[in-house]
Structure 1
Amino acid sequence: MRIATLIGTVCGVGYLKPAPGTWGSLAALPLAYGLHQLGGFLLLAAATLISVGAGVWAAEVMTRGKEDLDPSEFVMDEVAGQFTALWAISYPAWAHDIDITALWPGWIAAFVLFRLFDVWKPGPVGWADRQKGATGVMMDDLIAGIMAAIGVGLLAFLSHRVLGF
């Protein structure tokens, strides 16, 4: 249980108040930066997949026998979702040999869009949030991350191709 709690709360970040999900998303930003710097998009993608697997396991252990299947201190789902949202800047930076810090508007957009979709829970995010069990706990944030990544891509297209910035 102790290791599962450490993973699920992302080393205690989930205990920060208010809004532990926002703190979890914020914690993901320097982690993603470090992963990208160490191994580019491929390492960030691998870390995302590992965080999903570890998150499902930790959620199962942390919620076993409890009524609350998605406790507020569990923020590994936010980390995995935020990592997914950041794929929209990590991949282009890696593929085109761009310093990822040069894509700073994308960092802001990925964070804001992910938090917006995670809190608002539109369409498929809301559907996933209503699913029971550890997979459902992780799935809504992954879908929010995918939607945020698409949003970042659309904003980049609008900015660079349409507006010419």
Structure 2
Amino acid sequence: MADFKPDFAWLLKRPLCFLAFGFGSGLAPFAPGTFGTLAALPLAFVLILLGIDGLLLAFLCIVLFMWGIRICAYAERETGVSDHGGIVWDEIVAMLFVLAFVPFRWTWWLAAFVLFRLFDALKPSPVGWFDKNLHGGLGIMADDMAAAVMTLIVLRIAMLF
């Protein structure tokens, strides 16, 4: 974890960092990526209730991904730390992307959460390649989207049975 430890007041003074730190979920004292991923679940729930699901949610995630490149790069500059552990916008967007393509049932959401966290934490290829070879905002965002795609591949295969 990084030496720089922002607090909620610091985030409130920097709205883009507030987003990058997942509305504060990235301030968790341990496993901020897990807390960021958890933050995506109620957000997805609300979006789906508002009728933003499936391909519309996936399209929104593409927009949020592109925006996330800039948000995460900004947060890196503000913290002075490369890929600060508290930057969890990438987890939120990637998890929303996964949830756009799985059934709206707790069992599928739980499976999506567990698989995504495993792929994000263990960083198997190609996730690890993106993590090691891309830097800045794009690097922060890309490895999580790769983990999301791997999660979706496993879940879509599971849906066949």
| TM-score under structure 2 length normalisation | 0.84
Which blocks of at least 5 consecutive residues in structure 2 are unaligned? 1-12
The 2-side partners of 1:104 and 1:66 are apart by 36
CA contact (8 A) 2:25 2:32 kept: yes
| Richer in helix (by share) | 1
The answer as to 2:83 corresponding to 1:70 is yes
Question: Using a 3 Å threshold, how does the CA distance of structure 1 residues 65 and 88 change in structure 2: closer, same or farther?
Answer: closer
Paired position in structure 2 for 1:161: none
* Partner SS state of residue 86, structure 2: coil
Paired position in structure 2 for 1:127: 129
The 1-side partners of 2:14 and 2:63 are apart by 19
List structure 1 runs of 4+ shifted beyond 6 angstroms: none
| TM-score under structure 1 length normalisation | 0.82
| 1:151-162 correspondence runs (5 A) | 151-158=154-161
Larger CA Rg, structure 1 vs 2: 1
Identity %: 38
The 2-side partners of 1:154 and 1:88 are apart by 12
1:68, distance to aligned residue in structure 2 (A) = 2.7
CA contact (8 A) 1:85 1:147 kept: no
Question: Using a 3 Å threshold, how does the CA distance of structure 1 residues 65 and 36 change in structure 2: closer, same or farther?
Answer: closer
The answer as to 2:62 corresponding to 1:49 is yes
1:112, distance to aligned residue in structure 2 (A) = 0.5
Paired position in structure 2 for 1:12: 24
> What is the root-mean-square deviation of aligned Cα atoms in Å?
1.7
